[in-house]
Structures are given as structure tokens and as C-alpha cells.
Amino acid sequence: MYKHLDPASLGVSGRQSELIEATLSYGFRGLDVDAAEVIKRALSQGVDEAARYIRSGQVKVGGWTVAVPIMESAEVFDPALERLHGLAEAAKDIGFTYAAYELPAASRKLPYHENFEVHRERLQQVGDVLGPRGIRLGLALKATEAHRQDATYQFIYRAEELLTLLTNIDSPHVGLALDTWNWAVGGGGRDQLDELAGSQVVSLSIADLPEDADPKTITDDQRFLPSEATTEHHGSLLRSLAQRNYRGPVMLRPHPRQLAKLTRDASVEACSRMLDQIWAAAGLSKSGKLLTVATD
């Protein structure tokens, strides 16, 4: 596994070259870029032009959110899936190895069981497009109440439901985009995660909940940076995933307003420093491998 930087969650921005410099300066190996813009530029100007800073900096890229209209009619979905072939080819050439799909927590069109079957079938098709190009698809949870307001039908917003969907998708190219914050809000437990193989986890995002968090009222802006009090908790998860050969990115994803008063360098440095502490608590080397085999 490796340390990955998501600038947007820290509330920082800049030219791609500036963000790559910050990534390397503070010990990250991966970086979220504006994937839609980079892929668009690759298709219009060529991959060499679009990825020149990425290649020169030798950083891993991530954060490609697949925008495929899963719940639309076949007349809309099928052409979008066909276009995905070209996008995925460009993404592969740029260096993307994983993408994410945010599961809708509710629907105004489809009842749960019908929606489940549509997602099961079509996400498998998306995985079949991405997989041969070395790109894995991670399914992400949106667990807060705000994502379900004013909807006719509820859909997947709990961890157990997400695991059920994954179990029913017959594709090695589709796994879990694990966000510890949404996992906790969605009622997920550590025991459920311990049952997964490391290869079933596509990416790992970490954020802390407030101590008095109520899953019924918590909002997405209450995502905090980990603290020294929670370092061991997060380190234990990393250690467990390392023991199961998880090799993907690890990123801190607070809400941007949590670091709004800091400069770009100060925000990135704070994120790097906290990840270093979690790394140490997990017993990992700088390269993300276990220094010693430990048990919880």
C-alpha cells in the first residue's frame, strides 16, 4: 500500500505541476488529479501531452470517478458503456489503475430489488470494460441521511447492503472503495472488513467522526482528520489489510472546510504527518510493507 494525496479533500488547489511537487515533497507516492480533464486532454491532444507532468514526477494517479448512467434506459446506458472503452483506454495509458463508482443511496425511479439487479448487471459490465485494461472499479458508499432525502425509494446506504451487492457481482475487477467514515456511518464493523481479501479492497480513505456522532443526523462536512487518539485504531486496520496483501492507495479525506485556514503546504504537511503516525502504528515500512508480522 502507499500514501496517496487527495488535494480536494484538503481544500487545496493549484496547477498540476504544483500539486505533483507538493506530493513528492511531503512523501506521497500517489495523487488525485482532475481525471475528467486529464482524460479529455489525452483524447484531444494525446496522452504524452496530457500526462507529461505525471510521468516526469513518476507519481501514481487515482480518483477517476466513473460517470456511467447505470439507472437510465438501455438507449442511454448502452452508448455510454461503448464510450467507456475509449475513455478507459486513455485512462490506462495515463496510468490510472483504479476508479470509483458512488452508489446512489436512493432513487426516484426504481424500487430497491429492481435497482439492485440493474446495478449488479451493469456494474459487472463496467468491470468487464475496465478490467482488461488493468483498471479496477471500487464501489463507494454514501451513508448520510442527506443523500436519501425526498427520494421515493431508498437504495444502498448501509455497509451490509454494499457487501451483498459485491457478493452478487461476478467480477474480479469490481471491489470496495473503502471509506472508513461512510463505513462507520453506514453501520459497518471491523469484523465485516476482516472477512474480505485484500484484493477485494480497491482503495482506502480515512476520516474521523465526531465523538458524539449520531448516524441519523451526521452530515458530510463532519469529516475530520484523524487525531492521535485514533491513530492506533486506523493503524490496526492498515496492519490487517497489509497482512491480507492490500496494495492500493491510502488517503486521508477530511471535509475541505476542516483545513480551510491553512495554506496549501501546511495542509499537505499536516496530512503527511498524520499518515506517518498511522503508518508507524500499523508497523509498516515507508514502502507500505509490514516490518513485523503482528496480530490484533
In CATH, 2-282 is 3.60.40.10: no
Could you tell me the pTM of the whole model? 0.94
Domain ranges for the chain, please list them: 2-282
pLDDT at position 290: 86
* Type and span of the H or E element at 217: none
Q: Kindly write down the DSSP assignment for every residue of 26-87, as one continuous string.
A: TT-SEEE--HHHHHHHHHHH-HHHHTHHHHHHT-EEE-EE----TTS-HHHHHHHHHHHHHH
How confident is the model at residue 292, as a pLDDT? 65
Handedness of CA 114, 118, 121, 127 (dihedral sign): negative
Low-confidence ranges of the chain (pLDDT < 70): 292-296
pLDDT attached to residue 63: 75
Q: Which set of grid coordinates corresponds to residue 215?
A: 448516524
**Nearest-10 Cα torsion for 214, 215, 220, 222:** 30
Strand order of the β-sheet with 30-32 is 60-62, 30-32, 2-5, 249-252, 201-206, 174-179, 136-140, 98-102, 64-65
Query: Could you give the C-alpha distances from 272 to 1, 64, 97, 218, 268, in angstroms and in order?
Result: 15, 22, 22, 26, 6
